[in-house]
Amino acid sequence: MQETQAILQQYWGHDNFRGSQSSIIESVLSGKDVLALMPTGGGKSICYQVPAMAQEGLCIVVSPLVALIQDQVNQLKNKGIKAIALTGGIPFDELNDLLDNCLYGNYKFLYLSPERLQQPLIQERIQEMNVNLIAIDEAHCISQWGNDFRPAYLQCAILKELVPQVPMIALTATATPRVVDDIVQNLKLSPVQIFKDSFSRSNIAFIVKRTEDKLFQLKNYMGKVPGSSIVYVRSRKMSVSLSKFLNENGFSAAHFHGGMTKSEKEDKLNLWLYGTIQTMVATNAFGMGVDKPDVRFVVHYQIPDSLESYYQEAGRAGRDGKPSVAMLLTSEEDKQRARQQFLAALPDVAFVKKVYSNLNNYFQVSYGELVMEPMAFKFNAFCKRYELEPNLAFNALRILDQNSVLSLSEQFQEKTTLQFVASKAAIFQYLEKYRKSAPIIQTVLRTYGGITDYETKIDLSLLHRKTGMRETQLKEIFQQLANDGIVNYHNQSSDLEIHFLVPREDDVTINVFAKKVKELNAVKQYNLEAMLGYIENNKECRSRYLLKYFGEDTHENCGTCDICTAKGKRTSPHQLEERILELLDLGPHSSRKLESATGADEKELLKALQFLLEDGKVQLNFKNEYVKK
């Protein structure tokens, strides 16, 4: 164990293991299979990375998303550890070379997507490798009871056949009993040791705030909780408009969603990480790489799709252990709306087939063909062309992604191509005539060698750095050059990228998992209902409720959630009316002012005011404020 601690110190710079990390590592090193259940941010990666470093050979890691894999591999590389990623879209030759590297190049980690495990070449090579550990990250993807079921994950079990003597560790932050059973069975973990760190986050006060004016309450609480915050919303549009609202009301906020460019995302993330911006208003695309310890406030402005997602997102508050708040703002209508929107966006098999066929037509893929290059497109334009409802269509794409027909990534990208078509003399003349454009033209010609012969892809941000000219200005100049017949110029933007993973076989491709679609939709409905159950709950401590959902029985109430605190200071309706009258003795009050002065629930307050109005004890003045009669 001393050695593992030295490794932790040397590569990660941490002095001590935390939670079950050291017991897990010990168990792995003794050759047992392990299932590690730890909340998000609990430090699961260390549990396989340290034992892999402590032994000869290489660790195979299966992880579901290309972006996750890339992120992990980059982090390891930054620590000077040799790691390799095999994701989609690598041509055969290159793949062969990469696998050779694993065999002879002293690599310590090989990250794979589960789809890769289906390839015979990879299976063969794995058998030749000196594997010291198999790690299945995000292992809940193997269970259809989880939120992110990916059938390809069932392939992970084959690793046990390929390298039978090697221990396997499965890691996840989903600990509902059904998922745990599925993981152990499907991965054939045996003999298995299950470690579970508590999911309890006792420094977070979980609050459900019912209100008919969410904007007002958002503003209100933002003012009360200083420090970094995140506001989660469900749509890109909402992230933009809500961030605008906060800025207009004196808070510093930025928006974040999947359709932004990579550099835009990085910029926004950094501004927020370093505290220049207080609040990030984000869709669930905001998650990876968010490892900020001092987030004080996480608000859910709309209802998330499951308690798993909710707990994970809310759990970004208070990683430093200091008191923090996770609040869900909700109106009466929200529940109904969530159900409707959610159910309306669950595609059936026929629709998935339609979208798949639309995609193939859009990209002109012929029957039996497997396109290797990534295909980028503008999602909204695609939906418009085929008259698809965007939410429904997006979920259909997600189903195709989950079932390994394609892999989907969201990101705004621009592809700009240029070719000089005028003669040298004409270009020269042009340079003379339009001196303003001259430095740009010269930079382009110098940077891109063959641009007078071929249509060439150019990098606008590179040109921006070289010339100091903004990208929009550059585009205007290129457009002008095109109008003047000097260049051919094309500019295409996209916000969604697809890698096809299997050849096009129309309905046959979909039939493979058609039966599952119905079941998966049922699970999604079940998950939403569990989420709504949490909101409707008005008796049980919120923390206990959440922990129970994750299979943890605690007997202590948190004392800080809305339910615990309301119990402490529950005022009878009569007391509330008395308190209101006392306040009105001091002068007129709006209902808002009364709400914050009494600390009462909005609904209860309005009820009390109604009584007082009916009893003729109070009345409204011309400013719509309450006054004593």
Q: For binding to ligand ADP (CB under 6 A), which residues are involved?
A: 12, 14, 16-18, 21, 38, 40-46, 291
Query: Which residue lies nearer to Mg ion by CB, 151 or 289?
Result: 289
CB of 311 to ligand ADP, least distance (A): 12
Q: Per DSSP, what are the bridge partners of residue 325?
A: 205, 297
Query: Which residue lies nearer to ligand ADP by CB, 44 or 209?
Result: 44
Give the tokens for residue 232. 């989660």
Query: Which residue lies nearer to ligand ADP by CB, 46 or 218?
Result: 46
CB of 19 to ligand ADP, least distance (A): 8
Query: Which residue lies nearer to ligand ADP by CB, 68 or 392?
Result: 68
CB of 46 to ligand ADP, least distance (A): 4
Q: Per DSSP, what are the bridge partners of residue 330?
A: 210
- Maximum Cα–Cα distance for the chain, whole Å? 92
Distance CA 476, CA 457 (A): 17
Distance CA 235, CA 337 (A): 14
CB of 44 to Mg ion, least distance (A): 5
Closest CA to 484 of 444, 427, 443: 427
CB of 292 to ligand ADP, least distance (A): 10
DSSP 595-608: HHHH---HHHHHHH
Q: What string marks each residue from 16 to 45 as x (binds Mg ion by CB under 5 A) or -? A: ----------------------------x-
Distance CA 254, CA 239 (A): 8
CB of 22 to ligand ADP, least distance (A): 9
Query: Which residue lies nearer to Mg ion by CB, 295 or 498?
Result: 295
Contact (CB, 8 A) for 158 and 533:
no
Q: How many CB atoms lie within 10 A of CB 597?
A: 15
Reduced to 3 states (helix: H, G, I; strand: E, B; else coil), residue 621 is coil
Q: Which residue is nearest to Mg ion (CB)?
A: 44
Partner touching 287 among Mg ion, ligand ADP, none, CB below 5 to 8 Å by kind: none
Distance CA 533, CA 561 (A): 16
Partner touching 38 among ligand ADP, Mg ion, none, CB below 5 to 8 Å by kind: ligand ADP
Angle separating helix axes 438-447 and 424-433, nearest 10 degrees: 140
Q: What string marks each residue from 379 to 418 as x (binds Mg ion by CB under 5 A) or -? A: ----------------------------------------
Cα 434 vs. chain centroid, distance in angstroms?
47
Query: Which residue lies nearer to ligand ADP by CB, 51 or 259?
Result: 51
Q: What string marks each residue from 42 to 81 as x (binds Mg ion by CB under 5 A) or -? A: --x-------------------------------------
Give the tokens for residue 149. 């079921």
In single-letter form, the type of residue at position 58 comes to: L
Give the tokens for residue 157. 């079990």
Distance CA 21, CA 36 (A): 9
CB of 78 to ligand ADP, least distance (A): 12
- With tokens 């205007």, the residue in question is 476
Give the tokens for residue 211. 């209100």
Read off φ and ψ for residue 402, nearest 5 degrees: -55, -35
Question: Is the backbone peptide bond immediately before 390 cis, with ω within 30 degrees of 0?
Answer: no
- Alpha-carbon distances, residue 266 vs 195, 232, 329, 414, 587 (angstroms): 35, 18, 28, 17, 51
Distance CA 2, CA 4 (A): 5
Partner touching 560 among Mg ion, ligand ADP, none, CB below 5 to 8 Å by kind: none
Q: How many CB atoms lie within 10 A of CB 448?
A: 19
CB of 318 to Mg ion, least distance (A): 19
- Alpha-carbon distances, residue 523 vs 223, 535, 554 (angstroms): 38, 19, 26
Closest CA to 36 of 199, 196, 180: 196
Partner touching 17 among ligand ADP, Mg ion, none, CB below 5 to 8 Å by kind: ligand ADP
Pairing type for strands 487-500 and 406-420 reads antiparallel
Q: Which of residues 454-513 bind Mg ion (CB under 5 A)?
A: none
Query: Which residue lies nearer to Mg ion by CB, 44 or 150?
Result: 44
Q: How many CB atoms lie within 10 A of CB 199?
A: 23
Partner touching 46 among ligand ADP, Mg ion, none, CB below 5 to 8 Å by kind: ligand ADP
Partner touching 342 among Mg ion, ligand ADP, none, CB below 5 to 8 Å by kind: none
Partner touching 43 among Mg ion, ligand ADP, none, CB below 5 to 8 Å by kind: ligand ADP
Query: Which residue lies nearer to Mg ion by CB, 289 or 439?
Result: 289
CB of 218 to Mg ion, least distance (A): 30
Partner touching 501 among Mg ion, ligand ADP, none, CB below 5 to 8 Å by kind: none
Query: Which residue lies nearer to Mg ion by CB, 44 or 108?
Result: 44
Closest CA to 116 of 144, 71, 73, 150: 150
Query: Which residue lies nearer to Mg ion by CB, 44 or 268?
Result: 44
Q: Per DSSP, what are the bridge partners of residue 497?
A: 376, 409
Query: Which residue lies nearer to Mg ion by CB, 44 or 316?
Result: 44
Closest CA to 605 of 210, 133, 42: 210
Query: Which residue lies nearer to ligand ADP by CB, 45 or 235?
Result: 45
CB of 72 to ligand ADP, least distance (A): 8
Helical residues (DSSP H) of 88-202, grouped into ranges:
92-104, 120-128, 158-162, 177-187
CB of 48 to Mg ion, least distance (A): 10
Partner touching 463 among Mg ion, ligand ADP, none, CB below 5 to 8 Å by kind: none
CB of 18 to ligand ADP, least distance (A): 4
CB of 137 to Mg ion, least distance (A): 6
CB of 142 to Mg ion, least distance (A): 15
Query: Which residue lies nearer to ligand ADP by CB, 203 or 235?
Result: 203
Partner touching 14 among ligand ADP, Mg ion, none, CB below 5 to 8 Å by kind: ligand ADP
Give the tokens for residue 251. 């808070």
Query: Which residue lies nearer to ligand ADP by CB, 34 or 246?
Result: 34
Partner touching 89 among ligand ADP, Mg ion, none, CB below 5 to 8 Å by kind: none
Partner touching 259 among Mg ion, ligand ADP, none, CB below 5 to 8 Å by kind: none
DSSP 164: T
Q: Which residue is nearest to ligand ADP (CB)?
A: 43
Residues in touch with Mg ion (CB under 5 A): 44
